[in-house]
Structure 1
Amino acid sequence: MSITRSATGRLTDTEIRHLCSKTNNSGGCYKVLKSDPRTANVDARGLAEVSIDLASKRANKIHSLINSLVNATHDSQLKNIYKSCFSNYNDVIRDLKVIKNYIKSGAFKNIHVQVKDAYEEVKQCKKVFGGATSDGAHIEEKSGV
């Protein structure tokens, strides 16, 4: 199925479902996108902008949470884990800003590299938490990493 524009240029519900089917969590993707009122009247470029905006808000929220945990913990092992994850999310936020600039400039062919980089940074953070013996703050659950 190729993404075709309706007469109004808006993506249909079916097209959004199809795009989300290409993700690791198609149900979550669809739910998040449809929960944002901006998706009701967007074309493919608009959907990309909304997606990056939502991802940026989430990444900034997680980044702030991790920063507060770095400052609050006295456990040196957890502090190091949080610092590592904090650094990963610095990179995620940077990658999302680059993607947003690519979308604004119409340089869509370059986006896949930054998307992959951001995904790998989140994955690395999750891997670090997977090796932790104790995460009393339950950051994995709170952040969705």
Structure 2
Amino acid sequence: MKIPFALIKPFMLLYLVTIITFPRVIITAKISNDLISEICRKTRNRILCSKLLKSNRRAHKASSLLQLGKISMDLSKSSAQETKNMIIKLHLRTRSDHRKLKERYKSCLTNYESAIHNLKLSNNYYKSGDFAKAGRYTAAALKETTSCEQNFAESAPADLQEENRKMECLCSVVLVICNSLSGRGFCQLLAD
């Protein structure tokens, strides 16, 4: 029994499209996984870095260092804003007779407002291609998260510690990428 060519033609076309398209999907996924692994190896907390970036759909699909940097910058800004909102809630829930705790939250709030400002500046420099300045402002934002945690003599509340770690991790990703794109060292960015 002969099958008419008109019936075979759509299947051949579908087969060709699949062959041409499918390898690109595999290659892109491999590139983004390799890129994420390479960047996360250079951060302070590579396990958290991998978890945060590989669970983010946009980061998982990133096909270049520049693209992953932009995505990481967006994630850092979002994380800073979420943490700021959490600190506001913690501050409002704290009873007025817990004066020291309220002061610590207020100080952390100032830190995160400054971090958000620095990340906005960093984002502008990143978009313009000045990766060294983007790295400097990201390092300044990173220092603010450290200052927030240091406001708590013994230890910050667990949820604030977790958000600080997430923010520190995302900022370190941006720093590593800015370092790679500008050719400057991570320590030099922190020193500037």
Q: Is the structural similarity TM-score above 0.5?
A: yes
Q: Which has the bigger relative contact order, CA under 8 A and spacing at least 6?
A: 2
Matched with 2:53 is 33
Q: Which amino acid in 2 is paired with 1:93?
A: I
Look up the match of 2:65. 44
- Mapped to 2, the partners of 1:69 and 1:25 lie a distance apart of 26
SS at match of 1:143: helix
Per-residue deviation, 1:91: 0.9
- For residue 55 of structure 1, the aligned residue among 52, 76, 81 is 76
Q: CA deviation at 1:132?
A: 4.9
Q: Which runs of 5+ in 1 are unaligned?
A: 1-6
Amino acid of the structure 1 residue aligned with 2:150: K
Give the distance between the partners of 1:92 and 1:125, measured in 2 at CA: 10
Q: TM-score, normalised by structure 2?
A: 0.63
Name the aligned partner's letter for residue 121 of structure 1: E
Separation (CA, whole Å) in 2 of partners of 1:14 and 1:87? 37
Kindly report which structure 2 residues correspond to 1:93-104, keeping only aligned pairs within 5 A, or say none.
Answer: 93-104=116-127
**Matched residues in 2 for 1:107 and 1:141: separation?**
31
Task: Report the equivalent of 1:67.
Answer: 88
Q: Which secondary structure does the structure 2 equivalent of 1:41 belong to?
A: coil
Poorly superposed stretches of 4+, deviation over 6 Å:
none
**Which residue identity is paired with 1:127?**
Q
Partner Cα separation in structure 2 for residue 64 and residue 117 of structure 1: 20
Corresponding residue for residue 4 of structure 1: none
Matched, 1:119 2:142: yes
The one-letter code sitting in structure 1 at the alignment partner of 2:118 is D
- Taking structure 1 as the reference length, what is the TM-score of the superposition? 0.82
Aligned length: 135
- Tell me which amino acid in the other structure corresponds to 2:149: K
Distance in 1 separating the partners of 2:56 and 2:65? 15
> For 1:43-87, what per-residue CA distance to the aligned partner results, in whole angstroms no more than 9, with x for missing partners?
111101110111111111110111122222221111100000000
Note the C-alpha offset of 1:141. 4.2
Q: Determine the C-alpha separation between the residues in 2 that align with 1:113 and 1:46.
A: 19
Amino acid at match of 1:50: I
User: 1 or 2, which has the higher helix percentage?
Assistant: 2
> 2:108 pairs with 85, 98, 102, which one?
85
Contact 2:32 2:63 in 1 (8 A): no
Instruction: Say which SS state the counterpart of residue 151 (structure 2) adopts.
Output: helix
State the identity %: 30
Distance 1:107 1:83 in 2: 33
Distance 2:160 2:62 in 1: 33
CA distance in 1: counterparts of 2:91 and 2:58, whole angstroms: 35
CA RMSD of aligned residues (A): 2.3
Distance 2:134 2:46 in 1: 20
